[in-house]
Structure 1
């Protein structure tokens, strides 16, 4: 297959390129390197030093024998996007090219507006470019389980639910409630893709993925092949952040009560799930919604697991709840359905208890580098000022 990855330079984009290339797929990527720029903006950086795109491509060729076409461009350049589609004729476009941080979207009105304009514009332009160039191209779009919020009822793995009002039955889009401007951009993405699917018959896999943790996949066989790893309060997800806090001798800091429950998945399992979804596309003209997670934990439980992993390596740490900068339920019901991935043969191979220890071991050689960014770990971005 030919696979075009939008956002190939990112935490998920790069290891997916390696996974697909290693399986013999032709990989093309586009990235404007904005995450590198925005990370610098908040005074942070990747835990692992990242080669420039040209060197990343060379290292993939050297260690894995993979040829990757990597364009350093913005996917919001509509004419360029169409040209790439015409030139490479991909079977599927993986859309990761969005601003992915909730705190970044909540810093001020400029960051909120940028998040909405960038994320929604890229989705709409991709749809119209595919409609114009080749309507049979499969769009695999990364959404988030955070679109749902924390409803006090089960979350079905379906975009629609049946309702009955005054004796009349109908279908409505399953209710969603974003916890940040970033999450609302993802909700709008889903609505747009549902609409364009009904209007143009485009083929879509819309993935609702839980937070991802991990430092490596089976293709990362050399330091030069590592993907980026964020741990600061703006870009770092909770497991990754806790692992770095432990290494630096900082307390592990659940926000608020720490009872927030989410579905998590390791980086390795995320790559395998994405591979399955790419290699087993939906029927032409179908909209397929997929829940992608492997384990369900509260933030408090994650802190306990990371603490135990650190102590098994001789690192003493403690858990210290801090004031929650976000506006969210800190204790709630959470029961999402997951059927599609198991039906394709997906079963998680990793678990947080084992991976937390492996992550800390991978990060320890970079302790001096991590310590340079110690000041950007604690939360400073508050939803209400």
Structure 2
């Protein structure tokens, strides 16, 4: 099968492309390289140096003997999207090509508008391209567990059976996201479900938890194949940030009391989840949802795991939470779909955090310490006039 990976130069898109290629799929990557531009805007680079896309593609061919087709362009360019889908003729499209950081979307009006326009319109252009070229293409779309928010009931896998005034129905699980970024993912989900229902497209929406880690078996084969390791308070994941702070001898910065619970997933499980979704496609007209996480922990528990695993003293600090979120909440997520397809999860307690500590130690001189501290707050804009 031919698989087109959108956002194939990114943190998850790149290792996913290699994982699929290594599994025998004919893979193409598409990217507009915007994520590298965010580095320039924010003045913070990936902790692990990453090669340019052309070097990466060449390195993979040298290491594996398999060639990745490469397209550089923007999903906001509808004609480019249509032409690419027609030319490559994929059986599946994996969609990572969105602005992915909640803090980035909350900087100000311009960043909120950019995030929603980029993510929602790009996905709409893709849906039209699929419908116009081959409605049988299976769309595998990366969503986020943040779409759900933190409801005081169990979180089902995308759908909810309800009874109201004596009648029963099945509807999309209610969404209560916590940032303009997460809202953009909700809009995506609704648009994709609509096109599955009305145009008989087929799609799998993967609501993913917080991803941690930097290496997969494929990226570890050559340093030119390395994917990003983001640590800053805008794009960095909480666990990666804690690991870096531990290595630097800095306190682990827990927002608030640390009672906020997050779904977690190892990067190796992320790429395998994508393969499983591609290999077992949704039916025509089906909008299928999997909660792509393997376990849940509070932020305080994550800090404790890192502190216990690190071979040295670790101090934990509690900062004022820059986000608007419940300090503690109920969180029980159903996530059986991918396990039923064959996922064998790596759990954080079983993960060799030592390898991540070693990666960080090798590149610790690249850390901009001030970037670890939160600068963006979830507050309403104030008229300064």
Relative to the length of structure 1, the TM-score reads 0.96
CA offset digits 1:337-372 (Å, max 9, x no partner): 1221121111213534533222111221101112xx
Say yes or no: does 1:356 pair with 2:353.
yes
Matched, 1:309 2:304: no
Mapping for residues 7-18 of structure 1, pairs under 5 Å: 7-18=7-18
Q: Residues 147 and 182 of structure 2 are in contact (CA less than 8 Å); yes or no, is this contact kept in structure 1?
A: yes
Question: Quick check: 2:143–2:206 contact (8 Å CA) kept in 1?
Answer: yes
Taking the aligned partners of 2:253 and 2:209, their CA distance within structure 1 comes to 20
User: Could you say which residue in structure 2 is the equivalent of 1:207?
Assistant: 206
**Aligned with 2:44: secondary structure?**
coil
The equivalent residue for 2:95 is 95
Measured against aligned partners, the alpha-carbon deviations of 1:77-113 in whole angstroms (never above 9, x if no partner) come to 1111111111111001111110000000000000000
Residue number in structure 1 paired with 2:28: 28
Kindly indicate whether the alpha-carbon contact (under 8 Å) linking 2:196 and 2:203 is maintained by their aligned counterparts in 1: yes
For structure 1, the 5+ residue unaligned runs are none
The alpha-carbon distance between structure 1 residues 250 and 8, as it changes in their structure 2 partners (threshold 3 A), is: same
Query: Hey, what's the Cα distance between the residues in 2 that align with 1:160 and 1:41?
Result: 41
The equivalent residue for 1:196 is: 195
Q: Match for residue 274 of structure 1?
A: 274
* Alignment match, 1:174: 173
Q: Structure 1: how far apart are the matches of 2:56 and 2:41?
A: 23
CA RMSD of aligned residues (A): 1.3
> Partners of 1:113 and 1:351 in 2: how far apart?
35
Distance 2:244 2:12 in 1: 19
* d(CA) in 2 for partners of 1:168, 1:277: 33
Contact 1:100/1:182 (CA < 8 Å) preserved in 2? yes
Give the C-alpha shift of residue 227 in structure 1.
Answer: 0.5
- Tell me the number of residue pairs that the alignment of Structure 1 and Structure 2 aligns: 379
Distance 1:353 1:232 in 2: 26
Distance (Å, rounded) in 2 between the aligned partners of 1:218 and 1:338: 25
Task: Report the CA distance between 1:330 and its aligned residue.
Answer: 1.6
Gaps of 5+ in 2: 381-385
| Alpha carbons 1:306, 1:353 under 8 Å: kept | no
Per-residue deviation, residues 150-201 of structure 1 (Å, max 9, x unmatched)? 1111011132432313x34334321110100001111111111111111101
Indicate the residue corresponding to 1:339 in structure 2. 336
Contact 1:306 1:357 in 2 (8 A): no
Trace 1:229-244 onto structure 2 (pairs within 5 A). Answer: 229-244=229-244
Q: Secondary structure at the match of 2:253?
A: coil
Map of 1:109 onto structure 2: 109
* Corresponding residue for residue 383 of structure 2: none
Cα 1:353–1:304 shift into 2, 3 Å: farther
Q: TM-score, normalised by structure 2?
A: 0.96
Q: For residues 307-341 of structure 1, what are the alpha-carbon distances to aligned partners after superposition, in whole Å with 9 as ceiling and x for unaligned?
A: 1222x2xx332100111000011211100112211
Deviates most, 353-362 or 101-110: 353-362
Where do residues 37-186 of structure 1 align in structure 2 (5 Å cutoff)?
37-165=37-165, 167-186=166-185
- Pairing 1:382–2:382 present: no
In the alignment, what sits opposite 2:216? 217
Alignment check: 8 A CA contact 1:326 1:382 kept: yes
Q: Is the 8 A contact 2:76 2:121 kept in 1?
A: yes
CA contact (8 A) 1:208 1:292 kept: yes
Equivalent residues of 2:323, 2:377 under 8 A apart: yes
Verify the 8 A CA contact 1:202 1:284 in the aligned structure 2: yes
